[in-house]
Amino acid sequence: MSGGVLVGFHQFCFPVRSESPKVPDNKTHSLPLERRCPCTRLRLDSKRGNLVSSSMIAFASSASVSGSGAEYSEQLLGTKPKQKKKKIAGIDQDELLDPALLADPDSCFCEFKGVQIHHKICNAESVAQNLLQEQIVSQIPSQTKQMGLPMILMHGFGASVFSWQRVMKPLAQVTGEKVLAFDRPAFGLTSRVNPHEHSPSSSEDRKPLNPYSMVFSVLATLFFIDLLSAQTAVLMGHSAGSLVAVDTYFEAPERVAALILVAPAILAPLNIRKVVKENQPERDTQRQEEISHSNIHGNPFIRLGNVLLEFFKYVAQAIMRLFKGMGVMVNYLYKKALSAILRSSLGVMLTRMVIDKFGIAAVRNAWYDSNQVPEHVLHGYTKPLRVKGWDKALVEFTAAMLTDSSSESKPPLANRLNEISCPVLIVTGDSDRLVPSWNAERLSRAIPGSCLEVIKNCGHLPQEEKAEEFVSIVEKFLNRVFGRSQEQYLQAAI
């Protein structure tokens, strides 16, 4: 090896400090030039002896082509650049935010059992003032502004307060009172909490409620009635929100003035009971029972057969209870296993895939004409996908529906619909592809005295697609049930 090469090799391995370029005395430039920029180090090295290996040059050239200097620095340091997460329904998942940071100017938050619930309130007085300023006083209904009943709005699955945006102010005009809409847990801008780590601030609750359960939504509805300082309120539920409204009625019927079910996702019973049926032959059947009862006591063989029949019936009932208990246990284990799978990373991944593939398509399919869905509507429905933990919360909501044990102690809802005694209005679209209109028709026959209104050329979202017609239907219903003309109101006051 020649001396020049040795000198060059020595300079390459042990560079002399005095040969390094002078740098001004500044804290931001206190490092040597070689340490500040690996690319500069390579250039210096090439000048100091051209002994940089070909593999090093190839690595440097590939880095300069593949990305920026920052990415190249990460490659030299042996770290991989952070990969961006895949967008879900067009929403970037790299910068998820707290719900409060996504709130609208008219958004409100309140704590209920440790959950920050997002809601909006539309006041009839503020609406009236705006109308006065706009000189549209004639549009204020004269027959319903004395009704004095607030209204609580409950959205459906995958929706939020946004789905009521077109009708909140008009409904406040109609009722003459406050109209409140809130986001159920797992939806909208209500906080996402871990039910396994969730503990309400109140020490009165020994066993905390699952915030994603139906019981929680029912209690939250009653909480908002109290928040409005009202004794009773009109409950309006859309799709799956109709189920919350009906369950709230059965929980506290004295707090519900009326039910308005919009495209209700409530399965109507197949066999609808008639109120009056076979009343006339009742006396004849009683006479036949008395005659057969006297004949039984007169025949000893019949009595012996009846004893044996009762014995076998008792044994059969015991066996059935045994199998029923085993069935309950198997069903319980099945639900637990299914909820565990849902809560796993696989379940979360599948949830994200489903929302990404079918989320926007479901919103479009909910409209009568899917090509007429405005972009701002799609943005309103996908906005909650920017909230931290939206995917895990949706999984918890699904698991809560599967493992809900509160409904097991009660009769099926289909068997209790005929017990509803408050005024009920059912509104549906004739072209609803998610919840067919024929189900709403059967539901109206199952609820005594209910009123059914079918909006033509309308899909699953009447309050958005046909807002004016929808409000007009609600106004007529409330006028018929509660409304009094101004003259009648003054006479009652006198």
Q: Rounded to whole angstroms, how far apart are CA atoms 35 and 242?
A: 66
Coil, strand, or helix at residue 241?
Answer: helix
Is 200 part of a structural domain of the chain? no
Structural domain that includes position 261: 91-134+144-195+209-269+381-492
Q: Rounded to whole angstroms, how far apart are CA atoms 75 and 38?
A: 11
CB 258 within 8 A of CB 423: yes
Is 282 part of a structural domain of the chain? no
Return the ∠ at Cα 149 (arms to 144 and 150), rounded to 5°. Answer: 115
Taking the whole predicted model, whether its pTM rises above 0.85 is answered as: no
Q: Rounded to whole angstroms, how far apart are CA atoms 14 and 11?
A: 5
Is 283 part of a structural domain of the chain? no
Q: Rounded to whole angstroms, how far apart are CA atoms 91 and 379?
A: 9
Is 251 part of a structural domain of the chain? yes
Is 355 part of a structural domain of the chain? no
**What tokens does 281 get?**
């032959």
According to DSSP, the β-strands at 233-238 and 256-262 are parallel
**What tokens does 492 get?**
């009652």
Where helices occur in 164-299 by DSSP H, the ranges are: 168-175, 214-227, 240-251, 282-298
**What tokens does 42 get?**
């390579």
Q: Rounded to whole angstroms, how far apart are CA atoms 405 and 332?
A: 10
Domain CATH number, residue 125 = 3.40.50.1820
Which DSSP helix (H) or strand (E) runs through 10? helix 3-13
Q: Rounded to whole angstroms, how far apart are CA atoms 321 and 327?
A: 10
Is 57 part of a structural domain of the chain? no
Is 341 part of a structural domain of the chain? no
Q: Rounded to whole angstroms, how far apart are CA atoms 405 and 206?
A: 18
Give the count of domains, the chain: 1
Return the ∠ at Cα 222 (arms to 220 and 227), rounded to 5°. Answer: 90
CA–chain centroid gap for 370, Å, is 22
CB 91 within 8 A of CB 382: yes
Residue 68's CB: how many other CB atoms inside 10 A?
A: 11
Is 285 part of a structural domain of the chain? no
CB 5 within 8 A of CB 13: no
* Per-residue pLDDT tens listing for the chain (494 residues): 444 444 444 444 444 444 444 444 444 444 343 433 444 333 434 444 443 444 443 434 444 434 444 444 444 455 555 566 789 998 999 889 999 999 999 999 999 999 999 999 999 777 656 655 554 444 444 444 456 799 999 999 999 999 999 999 999 999 999 999 999 999 999 999 988 776 665 545 566 789 999 999 999 999 999 999 999 999 999 999 999 999 999 999 999 999 999 999 998 887 665 444 344 444 444 554 454 455 545 556 555 555 656 655 665 666 666 555 555 555 556 566 777 777 788 889 988 999 999 999 999 999 999 999 999 999 999 999 999 999 999 999 988 888 776 666 678 888 899 999 999 999 999 999 999 999 999 999 999 999 999 999 999 999 999 999 999 999 999 999 987 543 443 344 34
